Each structure stands twice: as structure tokens, then as C-alpha cells.
Amino acid sequence: MSSVFVITGPSGVGKGTLIRALRDLVPGLELSTSATTRRPRAGEADGVDYHFLGRDEFDRRVAEGRFLEHATYSGNSYGTLRSEVEERAARGVPVVLEIELQGARQVRAALPEAVQIFIAPPDPSDLRRRLEGRGSDDEATIEARLAVAEKELAARDEFRHTVVNDDVDRAAAELAAIVEANR
């Protein structure tokens, strides 16, 4: 199997921003497109940002074993379709998975060779500011995400690599160094 890089961390930590920067720094990496039951946000496209699935379709695919990992987060289900990883592996292309803690643990069990990287905020209070800055979640959703984030931050020692996202350029360079060292 080609290299699989699992990038996880709490909501609002900047995983997506760092992965975009990483892909600029390390050509040839491909991002797995996750599936979700949540509604698209403004500007998101099906098959590009996520595979947006109805609850019944998502559950059917889970029952058929078509997910490498899946988890429920803030009332919505998310998962990585096996085909997203297997298709790239067949081409020898390294793939990045942007997933939550539950999913990262499932991938660790299924693919122990995957490189797992935890993205941490410089301070937990930064998460609230970042989530509010998105403007896409109401206060109740932000509070729920922060409650989950507290538990996720406590799990950071499970990961061989931790990158603190205190400066996007610096953190992206550190992330790129980890990826290059493990390809």
C-alpha cells in the first residue's frame, strides 16, 4: 500500500488549512474525499469537498463494509470510503485522510502502517475563536464541538506526531517534513 497519512485534531484547529498548504509543499499527495450525512455548507460541492449522502445511503454503505472508518460527530456521520484509499494505493499515490479522533483510531487498527499526525491549537481557547470566525455554526453547535474538542485534546499522546498550529506556514512546513520523512 502506498503511504497513508492520517491528520486529525479538534474541530477548528485548522486541519483543512494545513492540508491545503501541505499539498502545495509536497506535490503528488492526494486528499481523500470523506463522506458525510451533514448538509453542504455554502460553496461546497458534492464529490469535491465531501460525498454528501443521505442517512439511509450512508448506513447502507456502513453495513456493506464500504467504509475504512466512520464516526458520528456533532449529530452527523462522517467516514472514509475504502475506495478512496484503495484506488490511490493501486496507483501508488500517497493519500491524506482528514478525519476525527474516532476515525483515526479505526484507521490505526485497520492500517497500522498509516502515519498518524495530531494537529493541536497553541491554546484550547483558540478553538472557540476559530469556530466562531467560520460563521457556519450556531452557538449550540460550537459548544458541542468544544466539548468534544476537550476530549480530543486529551488523546493527543496517542499520536506519534503532533503539530501545533500556531503559525500556518511554520506548522505546514513541520507537517511537510513529517510526510517527506515517512514516504
Residue-wise pLDDT for 127-153, tens only, equals 777 777 776 778 888 788 788 888 899
Distance CA 42, CA 45 (A): 9
Burial class (CB in 10 A: 0-12, 13-18, 19+), 47: exposed
DSSP 3-state of 55: helix
Whether the CB-CB separation of 48 and 33 falls below 8 Å is answered with yes
Beta bridge partners of 163: 119
pLDDT in tens, 7-64: 999 877 889 999 999 999 999 999 999 999 999 988 999 999 999 999 999 999 999 9
Question: Which of the four pLDDT bands, split at 50, 70 and 90, describes residue 2?
Answer: low
Distance CA 99, CA 70 (A): 9
Q: Strand 30-31 to strand 4-8: parallel, antiparallel, or no bridges (unpaired)?
A: unpaired
More confident residue, 119 or 148: 119
pTM: 0.85
- List CB contacts of 123: < 8 A, sequence separation 6 or more: none
How far is C-alpha 33 from the geometric centre of its chain's CA atoms? 10
Q: C-alpha cell of 141?
A: 453547535
pLDDT of residue 11: 79
Do you know the residue count of the chain? 183
Half-sphere exposure of residue 101: CA atoms within 13 angstroms, side-chain side: 21
